[in-house]
A and B are shown apart, each in its own frame.
Chain A
């Protein structure tokens, strides 16, 4: 797997991923695998940037503006979370036009599109949120059933057969 580039962007993997953001938490359900997840705080903010298809670089710059952390800490946190979300088939890389450029509301944070190499540590921690590593909490109690007993969705034209 190649290293992430600052210009990389991600999007929600598809309609099988349902998510609800409440306050500073997001609950994510994967209806294909049966696993469900939650993220908090910095993870929730990152998820909102994924929804907006922000570049990795702009995510990091924006997070650096909000959290008392070094660029290295934020880069590692974001990259680790993005990789994990990809592995869980919750997000996928996208080449399409960013949602924020399509007239759809983006997160309220201003996104500066600097390359990762140009990011710097925040000059002051004053007023910033304490940094915590984002953790993707995963729940698999119904996953096994989902995987062993697929439900067959049938198109209206294909079923039932009138005999």
Chain B
């Protein structure tokens, strides 16, 4: 179902009201609050079914419940609450695999129907509320466990000039590095090696960056997705794999807050941008590159904002991100096979800037 007319997009208020009905059917909302990027985000789960599935990846950001939230998201599934979205009955009665992805955005609203994660996400920017629905909590994907409420959080944050980027980030209170690159470039390996060596970790696959006079990275999730090879490099994480019986093409999900509760940071200032590249050498080293090279590695993140909808400011955001990469040193991190050399290279950089 690609959205071909406005009639195909459900009304936000109608869908949000269904979440409230679902909560009543499931003996009320279960509330969790998180501090993300300096904002208070309140998640209202209709009943307990989704709580243990969606909250662990955000556990390091949890704060005391607050009515004074900046964003409130209501979440429910139909299977555990018995509340199906009447306005979306054609979806509720069909297998998510048969859905076609559809996304739409306006200055006031955001809508995403995603068959891959079997979720419907909606945002109302004017009231700072969101809603997330799925047919059945038991069918939740590993992706949604690793990056819960992802599209809603990223869309809402973008409107506040905090941009989700496909990157890892490690460092400390004084500052850290943003690790940019495609899957397989060595981001996770570098980030986990630094985490194991005592550095703070702000994220692996997705973090928020806030450009400005002092660019800042904020954590979203404490999850990491590891290939079998990566998992062998970090045997201490093997016992924390959340999906031990995963399909062959699925990575191992590890929630790092379970393993390193004191080192999962809410964020830190950015001191440099690193572009990891796996080499055949033993030792690692840094090679300075131009800010344009850094921006090229950020461009896919900017385009994914359009792919998944959200505020229509992705083009201007590219200009903003360009300012950020120009304000920071950019390096290719040539990764060697000696893990201690990887850590030492990052340590030398952070101690020098």
Query: Which residues of chain A have a CB within 8 Å of any CB of chain B?
Result: 15-16, 18, 20, 22-23, 25-27, 29, 31, 34, 36, 38, 139, 141-142, 145-146, 149-156, 158-163
In the complex the two chains form, what is the Cα distance from A151 to B300 in whole Å?
Answer: 16
Check if B238 is an interface residue, CB within 8 A of chain A.
no
- Smallest beta-carbon distance A8→chain B, Å: 27
Q: Are B6 and A154 in contact (CB under 8 A)?
A: yes
Q: A20-B292, A31-B315, A160-B106 are in contact. List 11 more A-B contacts (CB 8 A).
A: A23-B290, A27-B322, A29-B299, A36-B300, A38-B296, A139-B299, A152-B102, A152-B104, A154-B109, A159-B9, A159-B104
Chain B hits for A31, CB < 8 A: 303, 306, 314-315
For chain B, the count of residues having a C-beta within 8 Å of the partner chain is 45
Given contacts A22-B292, A154-B105, contact A15 B11 (CB under 8 A): no
Q: Are B11 and A26 in contact (CB under 8 A)?
A: no
- Smallest beta-carbon distance A9→chain B, Å: 24
The contact sample of 19 A-B pairs, CB cut-off 8 A, is A31-B315, A34-B307, A36-B303, A139-B296, A139-B299, A141-B182, A142-B300, A142-B304, A146-B303, A146-B306, A149-B101, A151-B307, A151-B308, A154-B9, A154-B106, A156-B106, A160-B10, A160-B12, A160-B106
- Smallest beta-carbon distance A85→chain B, Å: 17
Chain B hits for A151, CB < 8 A: 103-105, 306-309
Q: Are B11 and A162 in contact (CB under 8 A)?
A: yes
Chain A hits for B322, CB < 8 A: 20, 22, 27
- Smallest beta-carbon distance B209→chain A, Å: 16
In the complex the two chains form, what is the Cα distance from A149 to B104 in whole Å?
Answer: 11
Q: Considering only CB atoms, which chain A residue lies closest to B112 in the complex?
A: A151
Q: Are B307 and A149 in contact (CB under 8 A)?
A: yes
Q: Are A34 and B105 in contact (CB under 8 A)?
A: no
Q: Considering only CB atoms, which chain A residue lies closest to B318 in the complex?
A: A18
In the complex the two chains form, what is the Cα distance from A29 to B3 in whole Å?
Answer: 26
**Chain B contacts with A in 194-247, Cβ cutoff 8 A:** none
Chain B hits for A145, CB < 8 A: 304, 307
- Smallest beta-carbon distance A56→chain B, Å: 25
Chain A hits for B3, CB < 8 A: 152
Check if B14 is an interface residue, CB within 8 A of chain A.
yes
Given contacts A20-B319, A151-B307, A152-B102, contact A159 B299 (CB under 8 A): no
Most buried by A among B106, B292, B325: B292
